[in-house]
Every structure is written in structure tokens, then in C-alpha cells.
Amino acid sequence: MYTGIDIGYNATKAVTERRRTTFPSVVGTPDRASFALNGNSEQALVLVAPTHALIGEEAVNQSRFLNRREDRRWIESDEWLTLFHAALTELTTATAVDIDLVTGLPVAFYSDKAQVQERLMGEHRVQREGRRGQLLRVANARVIPQPFGSLLAEVLDEHGQIQRPDLAHASVGLIDIGGKTCNLLSVSRLFEIGRETASVNVGGWTLVRAVRQWLAQAYPGLDDLRDHQLAAAIQARSIRYYGEPVADFATVVDDLASNLAGQILGEASHLWNGGATLDAICLTGGGALLLGTHIQRHWPHAQVVAEPIYGNALGYWKLARRLWGK
């Protein structure tokens, strides 16, 4: 099974030929069984082996205790591996499957690629609530810089062949706006330009924190929302206070998003000497949907990729097809 998995600070995304999935990168501690009128334990994202955990929306909504790391050691944590296992169970119900996998790391952590690749290779025995156990064998694994996936999603077709030779031979700046970090990657003819690549510690959670501070003053109580709940409201540009819509919420979100886009533009402009020599600038990640228009006002040749949320995972999957496809 050719597979691309992107485990981000905000969300985990995974793609195969037949299925794709995304869920919040949150691992929770099971508390008690909860009632749902149309509940189905097989649909709930709950692992019982190798660890008992709630994952994604199930964790955000049901768990009292959430585990979400935001540091470099995250990729060494049990939570990170649990998200990987959960993604695989979302992609297949087979009791045994061989996997050819591509994933990515933030550019600041890319030197850890060998450690991550070693951790992913081999057999993973997983059991999801309501299912039989699964033996998931990672036969091949490759780790690349995260934003490279979105470029490959544009350049390669579904068989891993080049469909955009113009982009493959171009000088491209990639801005990947994730949850905790914004990865800036410069690529020429599909080769990374190391001196023009950096990771900036701003992202979607920067905007969440800014909105939370405003809510604490203007609408007390709304600032108690969990991070992923507030992030969803920001994405929708809509929130309710005592049952009524907050009229100025969208305006405030846009103003704060413009400020954040300005920070990213400043870093990218400095790194890329203003960006004038780049043939194209590709915006990806969930933050591209919020900040894309603000960045495009400064750089008219900047474009949001076709699927910014799934962009990296989609490119990883296409690269897996290119590397190991028959």
C-alpha cells in the first residue's frame, strides 16, 4: 500500500490511492464510555493496542486529559507514534498489509530523518476498538522536508510521473504554514537550496493565541475553548456567544491574520532577497487558507496549492508511487 502521512502539530493527514483522512493531532486519555445516539465504536478513533488512547476529534471532545507536544522531542514520543498508528488504521481495515511509506519533517528537524525512518520501518501491531488486531508492515520508508510534499503534489501525477515540467524546472519558494511552525523552503529544479531554507516559530497556533487573548477581554468564557475547537471557529470565521453569533469575530480574525502574514512575509523576503528571482511561490498548509490572500497582495506570483491541507501528504503518496511503484 503506497502511503503518504503528514503528522503535523495541528493535524495528521494521510493519503493512499483509495482513501484519505485527517484528524487533529491530539492524543487523549480514556475516561469513561460516552453515549451517542448514532454512535459506532468502529467509527470512533480509539486504539486499544499497543496503547489505549483516544485520538483526534474523539480526544478533543471526550478526554479530560490531552497530550499534545510542541517541541523537537515530539517525534520521539509515544504520542507521535500513536498518531502514526491511528492514521494507518484510518487508511485500511486489513488484518495484514505491506506499506511503502513517505513522510516528512519540519525543515528545522530534518537532520533527525534517519531516526524517524528507523522508527517507522518494520512491523507495527495495532488494534482499534471494535476491530480485530492488525499487522502493519512498513517495507520501505523515506523522509523528506515537509513542504517538499506540496511541490511534488503539483509536479507529479497519480502514477508518480512528472506532469508539470515547467514547475519541475523552476525556482520555487514554498511557504508551509502549519500549526506551530512556518517552513520556508527554496527549490531549484527540484533540488533544495539549503541557504534559502528556514523554519519560523509562527503558525496557526500563533493566531489561535492572539484570538484567545481578544476573546478573554471581549467575550469572557469563550477563551476557555480548547485549542482545536477555537481553531475550527477561526477557520469558519464564526463563533457563538450565549447562542448568538459574535458579529465582529470575522473582522478581528482577518486583522490578526494580516499581522501574522506580515511576520511571515518579513522572514521570507529576507531569506529570498525579496522573492523577485523566484519563478513561483507556493503556499500550503492549513494556514494558507487563512493567510493566503494577505501574502498574495504582496507577491502576485504566490499561489495557494490545489489542496493545501492535504498537499504534503498527497505529494508523499505520489513520491511513494514514483519510488516503489511497479
Q: Do 89 and 52 touch, CB atoms closer than 8 A?
A: no
Using pLDDT thresholds of 50, 70 and 90, give the confidence band for residue 42. very low
Whether the per-residue pLDDT at 36 is higher than 50: the answer is: no
Whether the per-residue pLDDT at 285 is higher than 60: the answer is: yes
| C-alpha to C-alpha distances, 291 to 234, 261, 283, 316, nearest whole angstrom | 12, 6, 9, 24
The share of the chain scoring above pLDDT 70, in percent, equals: 91
Q: Which domains does the chain have, with CATH numbers?
A: 2-145 (3.30.420.40), 166-306 (3.30.420.40)
Cβ neighbors of 71 (< 8 A, separation 6 or more) are none
Between residues 44 and 103, the one the model is more confident about: 103
pLDDT at 40: 47
Torsion from C-alpha of 20, 26, 32, 38, nearest 10 degrees: -30
pLDDT single digits (tens) 129-184? 888 899 999 999 999 999 999 999 999 999 999 999 999 999 999 999 988 889 99
What is the Cα–Cα distance from 55 to 187, expressed in whole angstroms?
Answer: 35
Mean per-residue pLDDT of the chain: 88
Q: What is the pTM of this model?
A: 0.89
pLDDT at 41: 46
pLDDT at 37: 43
